[in-house]
Amino acid sequence: MKKGDILELDITGYGYEGKGISKIPKRIIKPGPDSSENSNNSNYVVLVDGSYPGDKVKARLLKIKSSYAKAKAIELLVPSEKRIKARCKFFGVCGGCKQQDLNYEMQLKYKQDQEKEIFEHIGGLKDFETEQIVPAENVFYYRNKMEFSFADRRWLTREEIDANNTGNKNFALGLHVPRIFDKVLDIDECFLQSKKSNEILNFTRNFFKQRKTPIYSTKTHTGYLRNLVIRQSQNTKDLMINLVTSKEDDEILKEYTSELMNVVPGITTIINNINLKKASVAVGDFEKVYYGEGFIYDKIGNYTFRISANSFFQTNTLQAENLYKTAIDYAELNGDEIIYDLYSGAGTITIYCSWKAKHVYGFESVESAVNDADENAKLNKVENVSFIRADLYKSFLPVIKKNNIPKADVIIIDPPRSGMHKNTVDDVLTLNPDKIVYVSCNPTTQARDIKMMTENGHKLIKMRPVDMFPHTYHIENVALLIKGKQRQK
């Protein structure tokens, strides 16, 4: 086989990042002692993007390794009976949803199976319980934040090219096509956020397009428009518009604010983040508020949280409560525990579990997040929490000693996708808590970290996936580890 070859493949499994798995015979020939050939047959794995178990596809080989290959489905010969018609007209081109054409019950099954597979075969872990995945109540309109990009090069769909209907190729507002960083798919409807979000998206496009406002170019580093970020609370109905630009322009922002407020009622605040850097990130070096307070509020359980333009907040508010409930259930708190919450961010988990603890200490590397957490504690009148800035990529034990913080009974960990730094894992093991509750959005790094913990005195008891992101292969997972080789009663 060579790169570019097209194969007919039967898809029999579901693999990492939602790719279909096909296994084809592999013949390994070795010369025998009598110079005859002895053969050994085994399976060669092909990971096929755009396929599901039960499919028969034509696939083009993209990468070939000694033990596996990567391919992309280019023609569906026989569809799996679990396939359905995708709701979005941009599905298959846009990178937002990868599995909108798969029955939701099967999405859940494959995610749960993948989670267990990663822990057993990549992490080498065994003898633990996998509890039933928590499904999402809303499989559409579930996101509280959408980040759209402006681009001066519009991605043209196959239908547009075939119909010779390319329109304005130099203005786009939408989402990036996977692996394409300089072009954007111009979309007018997305089912991940609310219908009001689509109104804001389309108004913003028309407003700046009519005025021929220049879009920031990642090649020349000139232009004005960079991103449109819409944050919409699920429980309070607050609505934030954050326009990210390369420089200040009070005149056009005041006009945009005035007209947008008339067209879309119910907006809580409008902000302009000014990003002076060349990097394509939707975070400004500073911000200006053009309407409202500059932040919004949302609730998780009985607690209210203030969210600024650049605050981290779980993207699916309703499922976040199920995620946190699972973490609290796993901790089996009785009200007398000292809890450490590592990577505490704006303090959501810290505050959420405070009612069942003696005291909760949140540790966070980012100073602005620590400030947000302090404000959220005051907002909720929670007094048995403390937030401490600590570098979680070095040892944070000196911070504990310096602040005379009592030993933790339970440590809750919710790191970024990259997982924990080995230094932080070592610190957790040194502290040797009775229980560790590990929350993660990346099962691969989570399994890696937990394997290190199980090799040093803790045992993985159980885990439970929570589906925060329907129609994608992403999954959150909560795992419980206890001290010692046997579960303590």
Largest alpha-carbon pair distance within the chain? 87
Nearest to 429 by CA among 404, 397, 475, 391: 397
Q: Give the separation between CA 100 and CA 82, rounded to whole angstroms.
A: 11
Q: Is the dihedral of CA 370, 375, 379, 381 positive or negative?
A: positive
- Classify residue 150 as exposed, middle or buried by CB count within 10 Å of its CB (0-12, 13-18, 19+): buried
3-state secondary structure of 213: coil
Concatenated DSSP letters for 143-191?
Answer: -SEEEEEEESSBPPPHHHHHTT----TT-EEEEEPTT-SS-EEE-S--S
411, 431 contact by CB (below 8 A): yes
No. of helices (H) and no. of strands (E), the chain = 10, 23
Q: 338-342 and 303-308: which strand pairing? A: unpaired
3-state secondary structure of 42: strand
Q: Give the separation between CA 315 and CA 34, rounded to whole angstroms.
A: 65
Instruction: For the beta carbon of residue 434, count every other beta carbon within 10 angstroms.
Output: 17
134, 464 contact by CB (below 8 A): yes
Conformational region of residue 335, where left means phi above 0, alpha means psi within -120 to 50, and beta covers everything else = left
Please state the φ and ψ torsions of residue 144, each to the nearest 5 degrees: -95, 0
144, 315 contact by CB (below 8 A): yes
Catalytic-role residue among 97, 190, 353, 441: 441
Active site residue 97: no
366, 347 contact by CB (below 8 A): no
The full 3-state SS of 84-150, as one line of letters, equals: CCCCCCCECCECCCCCCCECHHHHHHHHHHHHHHHHHHHCCCCCCEECCCECCCCCCCCCCEEEEEE
Give the catalytic positions in this structure. 441
